[in-house]
Structure 1
Amino acid sequence: MKAIRLLDPSGLDGIALVELPDPGPPGPGEIRVRLHASSLNYHDLGVVSGAMRTQPGRIPMSDGAGVVEAVGAGVSDFDTGDFVVSTFFPTWLDGDPPLADFSQTPGDGIDGYAREIVVASAHSFTRAPGGYSHAQAATLTTAGLTAWRALVVHGGLKAGDTVLVLGTGGVSIFALQIAKAMGARVIVTSSSDEKLARAAELGADHGLNYRRQDAWGREVAAWTDGRGVDHVVEVGGPGTLAQSIEATRIGGHIALIGVLTGRAGPVPTAALMVRQQRLQGLIVGSRAHQLEMVRGLEATGIRPVIDRTFALGEIADAFRLQQASGHFGKIVLEF
């Protein structure tokens, strides 16, 4: 079978398309999946670029979608022919997070889904939403579930709420779609007027170009008549957090899910405290969260926004597009 290996995980030039032996039939509790798609996330970019060190020879990519080819003894959740999508934390089935690292995350601590066939625990997958293509399903593992957990699981999103999403990458566009489907108003920030226009086509109620409006937190608060937003999907980290705090209402919820502006920096703790806001760091979600999300997507009819697809052997070009921030929504590999 064809697969991608990181021969030198310090850069995109170290990505190689290789031939690997067929993994064979599934054992007890396992399923064999013919993979057809994966999608790019900034976590994956960190691994393949060398920013997040991993074992040489690692198969990258945390997201994978395909069809079940065989089912091992004791597996009752799946049948041959089922369309499935991978989970980010295969050992986190329900309840509180059991890990504070990526030691069990495919494409990082263990081999991922940039390959044609995988044999893995049945807990490593859930069913894909009905009617989804493999490419669409492959966007859910990381980006889709992160947005779902931020807004629905921990945010308690409800109709009439106001949501601020930063940027127009995969998580942010999912957050926009989920919020609109549930009756919320949405504000989107971007450095591109073209991307803001595309966000408006998806239902965004207001857009802010942060290149022209440095104090966008104040602008967001003003747009809400001084109240502030109920939820922020905060992907920037230290470089944007102060503005997000200013944009959020007293007692509001900020989901810290990204570090695009850096991994460390000052936090305006006094402002956070006096406004009695809830700042929560989160990374993706559990298998139970993913099962709930799949049902939610089927009920709302949400379909992922895919900017562009690449073949498996074009994975380096796909990551170069991601590095250049040239995408809107998700970038997908199909194979």
Structure 2
Amino acid sequence: MKGIRLEAPGGLDNLRNVTLPDPGEPGRGEIRVRLHASSLNYHDYRVLATPGAVAAGRIPMSDGAGVVEAVGEGVQEFRPGDHVVSCFFPGWIAGEPTLPDFATVPGDGVDGYARERVVCLAHSFTHAPKGWSHAEAATITTAGLTAWRALIVNGRLRPGDAVLVLGTGGVSIAALQLARAMGATVIATSSSDEKRQRLEAMGAAHTLNYRTDRDWGARVKDWTDGKGVDHVVEVGGPGTLPQSIEAVKVGGHISLIGVLTGRSGEIPTGALMRKQARLHGLIVGNRTQQQDYVRALEATGIRPVIDRSYPLENIAEAFRHEESGRHFGKICLEW
């Protein structure tokens, strides 16, 4: 079967199209899945683009969607023909997080889904939303579930709340869609005026260009009558966090889910204290939360925004498109 491996020392130029051995039949508690799609995330990009980030020969991609081909003894949740989508933390079934690292994450600590077939424990997947394409389903695993946990699970989003989303990547677009479906008001940022128009067409009440309006936290407060937003979906990290703290209301909630501007930096702790805001770091979510998210997607009719799809063998080109920052929503691989 065809697949992708990352050769030493890493980097997009060292992604190789390879022939992999067939995984065989599933054992007890396992399923065999014919994979058809994945979607790109910043986490995947960091793993691939950073020399030495993962073991040589690693099969990349944390997201995988496809069809169950066979089930092993004792598996009752799935049957052949079911459309399924992978879990970011396969062993985190429910409850509070206990995993301290990415050792079990596909495409990082273990081999991922850039291949035609996989055999794994059944709890490594959930059912995909009914009627979705494989590419659409593949957007759930990382970006979609992160937005769900940030706003619904941890944020306890309510109708009438105000939400600030940063940029137009997969997490931010999913968060905008969820917030609008819940009756919240959304404010969104972008460096592109063309993308701002698309955000407004999707229901954003206000948009701003963060490159030309450096003090965007104050602008957000103005739009909320000086109160600030209830929730910030913070994907930038140290470069944007001061403005996010300025934008959030007293007692508000900031979900720190990204490090696009760097992995460390100064935090204005005094401003955060004055706001008495919750700064909640999170990484994706558990399997039970993904199942809840799938039900919500089916109930609301939300469909993901896919910027572009590439064939699996063009994986490096797909990541260079992500690297350029020109995308709006998710970038997918299909095979």
TM range (shorter): over 0.9
Partners in 2 of 1:252 and 1:50 — Cα distance? Answer: 35
**Where does 1:278-289 land on structure 2 (aligned, <5 Å)?**
278-289=278-289
Output the amino acid matched with 1:276.
Q
Per the alignment, residue 189 of structure 1 pairs with 189
**How many percent identity over aligned positions?**
67
Cα 1:52–1:181 change in 2 (3 A) is: farther
What TM-score does the superposition give when structure 1 sets the normalisation length? 0.99
Partner of 1:105: 105
What per-residue deviation string (whole Å, max 9, x for no partner) do you get for residues 178-212 of structure 1? 00011000000000001111111111111010111
Superimposed CA distance per residue, residues 131-167 of structure 1 (whole angstroms, 9 cap, x where no aligned partner):
1110100000000000000000000001100000000
Q: 1:200 aligns to what?
A: 200
Q: What are the ranges of 5 or more consecutive residues in structure 2 without an aligned counterpart? A: none
Distance 2:251 2:52 in 1: 35
Distance of 2:83 and 2:201 partners within structure 1: 30
Q: Give matches, 1:1-335, under 5 Å.
A: 1-50=1-50, 53-335=53-335
**CA shift for structure 1 position 10:** 2.5
Q: CA deviation at 1:52?
A: 6.7
Contact kept, 8 Å, 1:9 with 1:54, in 2: the verdict is no
TM-score, structure 2 as length reference: 0.99
Letter in 1 for 2:160: G
Q: Does the 8 A contact of 2:63 with 2:86 survive in 1? A: yes
Aligned residue for 1:198, secondary structure, equals helix
1:102-148 CA-to-partner distances (Å, cap 9, x unmatched) read 00000000000000000001010000011111010000000000000
Alignment length (residue pairs): 335
In 2, distance between residues paired with 1:36 and 1:122?
18
SS in 1 for 2:67: strand
Letter in 2 for 1:220: V
Q: Name the CA distance, whole Å, in 2 between partners of 1:242 and 1:95.
A: 31
CA displacement at 1:51 relative to structure 2: 5.7
CA distance in 1, matches of 2:222, 2:186: 14
Say whether the 8 Å CA contact 1:158–1:182 is kept in structure 2: yes
Which deviations, in whole Å up to 9, do the C-alpha atoms of 1:277-299 show, x marking residues without a partner? 00000000000100000001011
CA distance in 1, matches of 2:9, 2:36: 24
The alpha-carbon deviation at position 9 of structure 1 amounts to: 4.5
**In 2: Cα distance, 1:78 partner to 1:170 partner:** 28
Distance 1:120 1:151 in 2: 30
- Tell me the distance in 1 between the aligned counterparts of 2:27 and 2:180: 43
